[in-house]
């Protein structure tokens, strides 16, 4: 495996979902290495060679999900696993008549990725 090192981070095992390594780190920096909705911090794991969401699954430590619009295919940001699941449920309309939190709508309408790396297609 080829080492991918950007600004001192070896992200060789990071799934970039269509972003270049530089775009991934730029977006992480723009988001202050945290989820733009919850503020939960992402940690860098030297052993895993990627950023991880320590508050995600308890059975395994996973990378924070790269969120994207399922209609346009554009990457919106990097969310905590829990917020990514919540947003997905709202988009699938599984909450019935409950009003969607304005923070989710604001994020969808003005995603951090657009401000930082432009419109990049999720892969």
For each successive 10 residues of the chain (123 residues), what is the average pLDDT?
91 95 98 96 92 74 91 97 92 88 96 98 97
62 pairs with which residues across the strands?
Answer: 53
What pLDDT, on a 0 to 100 scale, did the predictor assign at position 54? 80
- What b-and-e string marks burial along 19-55, b requiring 16 or more CB atoms within 10 Å of the CB? bebebbbbbbebbeebbbbeebebebeeebbbbbbeb
Backbone angles phi, psi at 92, to 5 degrees: -85, 0
pLDDT for residue 57: 62
What was the pLDDT predicted at 59?
55
CB 60 within 8 A of CB 52: no
pLDDT of residue 58: 59
**What's this model's pTM, rounded to 2 decimal places?**
0.93
Phi, psi of 113 (to 5 degrees): -60, -40
């Amino acid at each position: 495996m080829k080492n991918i090192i950007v600004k001192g981070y070896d992200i060789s095992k990071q799934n970039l979902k269509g972003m270049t390594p530089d775009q991934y780190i730029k977006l992480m920096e723009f988001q202050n290495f945290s989820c733009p909705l919850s503020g939960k911090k992402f940690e860098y794991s030297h052993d895993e060679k990627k950023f991880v969401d320590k508050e995600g699954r308890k059975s395994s430590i996973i990378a924070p999900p790269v969120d994207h619009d399922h209609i346009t295919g554009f990457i919106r940001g990097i969310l905590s696993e829990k917020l990514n699941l919540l947003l997905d449920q709202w988009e699938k309309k599984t909450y019935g008549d409950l009003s969607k939190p304005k923070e989710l709508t604001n994020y969808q309408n003005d995603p951090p990725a657009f401000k930082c790396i432009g419109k990049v297609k999720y892969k």
